[in-house]
Amino acid sequence: MSDGPGPAQAPAATRAPVGRPVLSLALASMLEDVGAHSGAVYLLRPDEPVLEMAVMAGMPRAFAAPWERVGLSAPIPVADAVRGRRVVWVGSEEEMARRYPRIAVVLPYPFALAALPVATADRVYGAVFVTWPGAHPPELSDSEREQLTSACKRLALRLARAAEENRPLGPEADLLAAPGSGVAGTLGSVEAARLVARLPYGLVSLDLHGRIAFVNAAAAELLGRPAGELLGTLPWVSVPWLNDPMYEDRYRAALISQQVTSFLALRPPGEWLSFRMYPSTTGLSVRISRARAVAEMTRGTPQSGPGPSRLVTISQVLSLAGALTEAVWVQDVVQLVADEVAPAVGSQALVILGSQGGRLHVLGHRGYPDPRVAERFDGLPLSERTPGAHVLNSGVPAFFDSQEQLERLYPDRQEPPDGFAAWAYLPLIASGRPVGTCVLAYAERHVFPADERAVLTSLGGLIAQALERALLYDAEHRLAQGLQEWLLPHSLTPPPGIEAAARYLPATQGMEIGGDFYDLVPTRPLAAAVIGDVQGHNVTAAALMGQIRTGVRAYTTVGQPPEEVMGSTNRLLIDLGADLFASCLYLRLDPARGRAVMARAGHPPPLLRRPDGRVRVLDLAGGPLLGIDAAAVYPTTEVSLPPGSVLALYTDGLVESPGVDIEDALAGLGTLLAEAGDQPLEDLADELVRHSVAARERVDDTAVLLLRARDGD
DSSP annotation string for 283-295: EEEEEEEE-HHHH
Domain co-membership, 222 together with 96? no
- Tell me if 6 is assigned to some domain: no
Domain co-membership, 454 together with 531? no
Q: What is the pLDDT of residue 555?
A: 93
Length of the chain: 713
Residue 55 is which amino acid?
V
Q: What is the pLDDT of residue 197?
A: 66
- Tell me if 11 is assigned to some domain: no
Q: Give the pLDDT mean for 662-680.
A: 89
Domain co-membership, 523 together with 660? yes
Taking 70 as the threshold, does the pLDDT of residue 16 lie above it?
no
Domain co-membership, 197 together with 158? no
- Tell me if 13 is assigned to some domain: no
Look up the pTM and report it.
Answer: 0.46
Domain co-membership, 523 together with 664? yes
Least confident of 463-472, 479-488, 643-652: 479-488
Q: What is the pLDDT of residues 531-548, one digit of tens each?
A: 998 876 666 777 788 888
Contact (CB, 8 A) for 95 and 112: no
Closest by Cα among 252, 256, 215 to 232: 215
Q: How far apart are CA 214 and CA 37, in angstroms?
A: 23
Closest by Cα among 368, 340, 337 to 352: 337
Q: How far apart are CA 79 and CA 127, in angstroms?
A: 8
DSSP strands (E only) in 328-442: 349-356, 359-366, 398-400, 422-430, 433-442
Number of separate domains in the chain: 4
Contact (CB, 8 A) for 687 and 672: yes
Q: What is the pLDDT of residues 395-414, one digit of tens each?
A: 888 899 988 888 888 877 65
Domain co-membership, 450 together with 506? no
Exposure string of 11-41, with b = 16+ CB inside 10 Å and e = fewer, is: eeebebeeeebbbbebbbebbebbebbbbbb
Most confident of 45-49, 260-264, 414-418, 500-504: 500-504
Looking at 479, 505, 539, which one is the last position of a domain? 479
Taking 90 as the threshold, does the pLDDT of residue 465 lie above it?
no
Q: What is the pLDDT of residue 695?
A: 55
Q: Give the pLDDT mean for 678-691.
A: 90
Domain co-membership, 475 together with 492? no
- Tell me if 171 is assigned to some domain: no
Least confident of 112-116, 425-429, 578-582, 681-685: 578-582
Q: Which residues pair with 131 in a beta bridge?
A: 38, 113
Range of the domain at 248: 191-290
Taking 80 as the threshold, does the pLDDT of residue 319 lie above it?
no
Domain co-membership, 282 together with 198? yes
CATH code assigned at 389: 3.30.450.40
DSSP strands (E only) in 625-678: 636-640, 646-650
Q: Is 327 or 150 the better-scoring residue by pLDDT?
A: 150
Looking at 479, 497, 519, which one is the last position of a domain? 479
Domain co-membership, 474 together with 342? yes
Q: Is 459 or 632 the better-scoring residue by pLDDT?
A: 632
Is 174 strand, coil or helix? coil
Taking 80 as the threshold, does the pLDDT of residue 184 lie above it?
no
Q: What is the pLDDT of residue 99?
A: 86
Domain co-membership, 45 together with 105? yes
Domain co-membership, 497 together with 569? yes
CATH code assigned at 604: 3.60.40.10
Looking at 479, 509, 539, which one is the last position of a domain? 479
- Tell me if 359 is assigned to some domain: yes
Closest by Cα among 294, 300, 256 to 275: 294
Instruction: List phi, psi (to 5°) of 517.
Output: -150, 160
- Tell me if 184 is assigned to some domain: no
Domain co-membership, 394 together with 366? yes
Taking 90 as the threshold, does the pLDDT of residue 344 lie above it?
no
Q: How far apart are CA 423 and CA 22, in angstroms?
A: 38
Q: What is the pLDDT of residues 597-626, one digit of tens each?
A: 999 999 999 999 999 999 999 988 889 999
Q: What is the pLDDT of residues 110-151, one digit of tens each?
A: 899 999 999 999 899 999 999 999 889 999 999 999 999 999
CATH code assigned at 232: 3.30.450.20
Is 472 strand, coil or helix? helix
- Tell me if 376 is assigned to some domain: yes
Closest by Cα among 674, 702, 706 to 690: 702
- Tell me if 390 is assigned to some domain: yes
Residue 423 is which amino acid?
W
Taking 80 as the threshold, does the pLDDT of residue 91 lie above it?
yes
Least confident of 146-155, 261-270, 312-321, 460-469: 312-321
